[in-house]
Structure 1
Amino acid sequence: MQIDSKRPLIVQSDFTILLEVRHPQFDAVRAGLARFADLVKTPEHIHTYRMSALSLWNAAAAGMTTQEITTFLEDNAKFGVPHTIKHDIRRFVERYGLIRIESLGEDLLLISDDVEAIKEMVSFKSLRSYGLCQVDNKTLRFSATYRGALKQELIKLGYPVEDLAGYSRGEELPIRLKPESMAGKEFQLRDYQSSAVDSFYREGSLQGGSGVLVLPCGAGKTIIGIAAMGKLNCATLILTTNSTSVRQWKHEILDKTDATEEMVGEYTGKMKDVRPITIATYQILTYRKSKDDLFKHMDLFNKRDWGLIVYDEVHLLPAPVFRVTADIQATRRLGLTATLVREDGREEDVFSLVGPKRYDMPWKELEGKGWIASVTCTEIRVPLPDGARDQYMTAESRAQMRIASENPAKFAIVDELLERHKGDQVIIIGQYIDQLKDISSFTGAPLIYGQMPHEEREKWYCKFRSGELSVIVVSKVANFAVDLPDASVAIQLSGSFGSRQEEAQRLGRILRPKEGVNKASFYSIVSSDTKEQDFALNRQLFLIEQGYTYRIEERVPEADSVNQLKAVYSADGQEAALS
């Protein structure tokens, strides 16, 4: 075993990998690790990654070999790689594709060149309900009805299936990408966007047509989805997170392709238009009047002969949609996301039902080519004042989160950050309207929120874009608003219980390339030693997983600042919270 203490990794026998944060090669090694391991802990000096069967299967599906993975680890590990780890990596990587599905008329075949693997399939009691019929010692036949369910069951048993059974063509729909946008700007795919589409399409072969593309915030996942539609030229159902995203998809489709208004339908709480290209929300699909009722909008999957289904933000795909997806495995499926990690732990269902990871774009490459700004993320922890701390300690769990989020001591930090970034375009983002009204009064910046008339909102946006206004305060409209102007600084006052999706959306507000020094700053102000700090760990994990530098600052506002805040708050009868 070769020992080199100057290397950044320690590979442990429990499949965890420790990475030194301050090592000169941190960024390059982090990007390499992310291809086959998941980030699980982010202390200040050492980040912990863990390889798993699923992370290695995804790496194999994306084209990585056992040799690539073990060589990378050996080249970067201080104390070498345990022999058992190398053996297990080989075992897991080679397991992907050991069993494959192919078609035979109306039926499907489970095929393996490993006779012992087929024997094991026959022995599993949980597979007997799928009507497996042995053809020979390397082949089992089953009904196409069970294509999705069988893949789900096999991955639980440790057999990730390579599905080569092919797909139905779907309804024909010629779509061409336009050479320029409606605004007259030249439009062409960036090189990595073309690579991502090609990784999914795979020249129309049986190996293409299903899978997940993982790209950082700001990489243009919508454009990639549209380009995939252009490759396949078929009726397409797009599922996304909310009505604002529906409108964004529609705008981009009309702007970047020759599709007409009549071809694109919205299927939301307000509209139910089913067109050759239909964009729906996860919420409408999973809506029902009570938990005992049926999901009446799930029949959208059968409203047309879809040739492609796009799952936007696939890590948020609701469980009921998985059940329908299991029944439509003959339809091509494309997942788009910035992270494969799900809060509910159902990553295996994404792998088996939507498809494995086909492409993973290192964020540093985007930043290096100037496609996104270089962002520094900073979490500033500030204690609750004594009165608010007492109130926090006696409150119920949900109330504790709000008390921590509305910590008035955060205002002094906002004041400090605005002074630090004087002259920059700054967006202050928060969850609670009362808090935002106070910060708007405190800073003199206008507050933009959901109930504000569009004309008034656009007035403030225009002033912000022109530079006449350098600071705006925004509510949750910042999470999804398509028309929100770009900024170079975002200050997050409060958020939704550590939501990774929200963090991605808010970060995206400052990722557009900047003229001159292409840099931006993202601040989260958090009440220390509270539930808000606990939830911030989830957000922190997401940002570091994306590769961003993340600093933590502990801060105690000066007495003069707190006294000034007391004066501000006493006018609203809130002095008790600061006493």
Structure 2
Amino acid sequence: MKAVIRIRFRGSNLLIEPNNDQAMEALPQAIKDFAWFNEEYGRYQCLPMFFPKIVKELSSCQANIQINWEINRDFKLEKTLDTQFTLRPYQQEALNSWLENNNRGVIVLPTGAGKTFVGLSALVKKNVRTLIVVPTINLLDQWRERLLEFLTLTPQKIGLFGGGKQELEDITITTYDSGYLYSHRFRDQFGLLICDEVHHLPTENYRKIAEQLIAPFRLGLTATLKRPDLKHREVEDELIGSIVFQMAPEEVQAMGYVADFDLEKIFVDLTPGEQEAYKKQWGIYSDYLRKTGITFSSGMDFQKKLIKRMGWDHRARKAVRAHHKARMIALTASEKINALDQLLEKHKDESVIIFSEFAEMVELVSRTFLIPAITHKTPNKQRKTILKRFETGTITKLVTGRVLDEGFDVKRPSVGIIASGSGVERQFIQRLGRILRPAKGKKAILYELIAKETLEVRSSKRRRPTTRKSK
């Protein structure tokens, strides 16, 4: 009997099935190292994302063994695509770095530096069926608009998964939510996987998008890959590939491709009542840490060492509640309203966007200053209307929460105010990016409002450890 190795899907795995001892003996050791052996059926199996490795390893034994491929391996587009734009020098360098890294890896560029154009160029360069994954419906629409505007594509060749649509085409754009739900429909349909805002990928569910695709070419785009839980390492490992190119906002600004900018911290006092309440809650929290000997070396330690104890230790539950209350007091300090009043007066003739960590603060600022607000509760149609008016200058002030940290594109704002924020570096870089879109004569400034002698002081330091331009 002729030795045959059969490659096919079964469930969520790829099966590697030698038909006899000769075929089993010929199977390269490298495949046995990353696949696992099913004793019951006498075959190896692995996640579909290892498909490129299987192809590479089996190519060395095809002379003696027949390989039966029972999955699609032809991803070429029928028509060669072309671009209708020219990459900036650093964008071209980023693309070249990705190509030289075997068409795999992550490109880190600040918001406003044109990550999307690098993605479009990668698509054209490989000219294969492509799956583009984005975190929001708004970004899904933006990518579709860019594809139609800057590539030689017709609307019929672009499919959408998300917002109630399920269209599988040569170029398909999906949200992370839909990508996870329908990953079984994508697995051997695409040669290139582009993950925008790729820092979303390494979660328990979303990672299945990358795991279930056999796509040999993989590109991740983000303003900052680093995650507090360190799961960005999984992106750099097998899911997408290592960081192949990165630039900081200051570097892109020095080239003149984003607006010049300054960073300024403004410290405010707690009122006597707020100070008393803060000290009480912080005392409960810190007392518990002292008595239990718990120490934190990273942001994730709070989750690992404290949150998990809540299931069996009522004192831990009390400490976590106290921490939340103390944080709420600091981030919504009433003196921040006075500071906002002064800043809005100072920049009354400019376009200003205000960010807050809590919806309560967003609503308070909106009511106090009669400023339009966008939160996670804002209907999509209303959100688009507000953003359009903000971009055209019909309205010049906007307050929002985390919902606009990513996934919207406006060039007008030159002033950003972080009324409250987390200690996550990625959030800071994204919010800075909202005011960096270039315009003639534009000088941007990002303010941080920080409550003195509170945990917010440490959070501010953590979220911008590499930033050089500050006051």
Which TM-score applies when normalising by structure 1? Answer: 0.58
Q: Following superposition of structure 1 onto structure 2, how do residues 19-34 of structure 1 map, counting pairs within 5 Å?
A: none
Q: 1:366 to 1:285 in 2, by over 3 A?
A: same
What one-letter code is carried by the residue in structure 2 that aligns with 1:170?
A: F
Q: Give SS of 2:470's match.
A: strand
Match for 2:112 among 212, 215, 218? 218
Match for 2:351 among 420, 425, 436? 425
Match for 1:342 among 209, 222, 227? 227
Indicate the larger mover: 209-218 or 393-402: 393-402
Q: Following superposition of structure 1 onto structure 2, how do residues 155-554 of structure 1 map, counting pairs within 5 Å?
A: 169-174=74-79, 176-179=81-84, 187-202=85-100, 207-268=101-162, 270-286=164-180, 296-302=181-187, 304-320=188-204, 321-322=206-207, 325-326=210-211, 328=213, 331-353=216-238, 354-392=240-278, 393-394=280-281, 396-449=322-375, 464-465=390-391, 469-480=395-406, 482=408, 484=410, 486-495=412-421, 497-516=422-441, 518-541=442-465, 544=466, 547-551=467-471
Structure-1 separation of matches of 2:168 and 2:195: 17
Q: Following superposition of structure 1 onto structure 2, how do residues 142-157 of structure 1 map, counting pairs within 5 Å?
A: 145=46
What one-letter code is carried by the residue in structure 2 that aligns with 1:514?
A: A
- Checking the alignment, whether the CA contact within 8 Å between 1:229 and 1:308 is kept in structure 2 is yes
Structure-1 separation of matches of 2:235 and 2:365: 41
Partner residue of 2:287?
A: none
Partner residue of 1:135?
A: none
1:468 is displaced (CA, Å) by 6.0
**Structure 2 gap ranges (5+):** 1-25, 38-42, 61-71, 282-320
Q: Tell me the alpha carbon deviations over residues 470-516 of structure 1, each in whole angstroms, 9 at most, x when there is no partner.
A: 43333444324535452111111123x33444333322211111312
Q: 1:248 to 1:548 in 2, by over 3 A?
A: farther
- Checking the alignment, whether the CA contact within 8 Å between 1:175 and 1:229 is kept in structure 2 is no
Q: 1:273 to 1:465 in 2, by over 3 A?
A: closer
Q: Give SS of 1:549's match.
A: coil
Structure-2 separation of matches of 1:389 and 1:276: 59
Structure-1 separation of matches of 2:186 and 2:200: 18
Q: 1:211 to 1:317 in 2, by over 3 A?
A: same
- Checking the alignment, whether the CA contact within 8 Å between 1:174 and 1:230 is kept in structure 2 is no
Q: Tell me the alpha carbon deviations over residues 187-239 of structure 1, each in whole angstroms, 9 at most, x when there is no partner.
A: 3222222222222224xxxx521112222222111111111111111111112
Structure-2 separation of matches of 1:151 and 1:170: 13
What one-letter code is carried by the residue in structure 2 that aligns with 1:515?
A: K
- Checking the alignment, whether the CA contact within 8 Å between 1:108 and 1:144 is kept in structure 2 is no
Q: Give SS of 1:306's match.
A: coil
What one-letter code is carried by the residue in structure 2 that aligns with 1:174?
A: K
Structure-2 separation of matches of 1:453 and 1:349: 34
1:422 is displaced (CA, Å) by 4.3
Which TM-score applies when normalising by structure 2? Answer: 0.70
Q: Give SS of 1:402's match.
A: helix
Q: 1:246 to 1:173 in 2, by over 3 A?
A: farther
- Checking the alignment, whether the CA contact within 8 Å between 1:486 and 1:509 is kept in structure 2 is no
1:339 is displaced (CA, Å) by 2.5
Q: Give SS of 2:270's match.
A: coil
Count of residues paired in the alignment? 386
Higher RCO structure, 1 or 2 (CA under 8 Å, sep 6+):
2
Indicate the larger mover: 348-357 or 224-233: 348-357
What one-letter code is carried by the residue in structure 2 that aligns with 1:524?
A: E
1:405 is displaced (CA, Å) by 2.0
Q: 1:237 to 1:422 in 2, by over 3 A?
A: same
Q: Give SS of 2:463's match.
A: helix
Structure-1 separation of matches of 2:349 and 2:125: 45
**Structure 1 gap ranges (5+):** 1-105, 112-125, 132-141, 153-161, 180-186, 287-295, 552-579
Q: Tell me the alpha carbon deviations over residues 85-116 of structure 1, each in whole angstroms, 9 at most, x when there is no partner.
A: xxxxxxxxxxxxxxxxxxxxx955759xxxxx
